[in-house]
Amino acid sequence: MRAKFLGFGKHVFLGHHVTFNDNVFINGTGKLTLGNYFHTGCNLTIITTNHNYENATVIPYNKVRIHKEAIIKAFVWFGNDIAIIPGLTTGEGAIITTRSVVVKDFLELAIVDGNPAQLIRYRDKEEFYKLKEEGKYS
């Protein structure tokens, strides 16, 4: 089954060869940048806007929205069922494993897992940059 797109807002910037599977939700109007050769499994949620609850005039939150940029750099791979909160950067070549909730920035080549996502280890740097230099992308 092929994914169906209804369009992205002017705040979404896609690199070359970005690959989506089913159920991609981009929630909010903060800037979102997806780098070249970004791949994701099914059920991805990226949030770029939060409600304001601090110094609010009503509860649980007021009408003010807080927009934050999310940056997913090149060659990043997300598994299925991933959630990204506003204002984060995922470094080049990172891998986010299935059912992870990303609540902080991760450096290049990081492999992260869990809720909240935690660093497991890093990809092999020499291997990654050798393949990149040779232009071996999928």
Q: Are 63 and 51 in contact (CB under 8 A)?
A: no
| Structural domains of the chain, ranges and CATH numbers in brackets | 12-119 (2.160.10.10)
Listed as ranges, residues in the chain with pLDDT below 70 are 1-7
What integer pLDDT is reported at residue 106 of this predicted model? 96
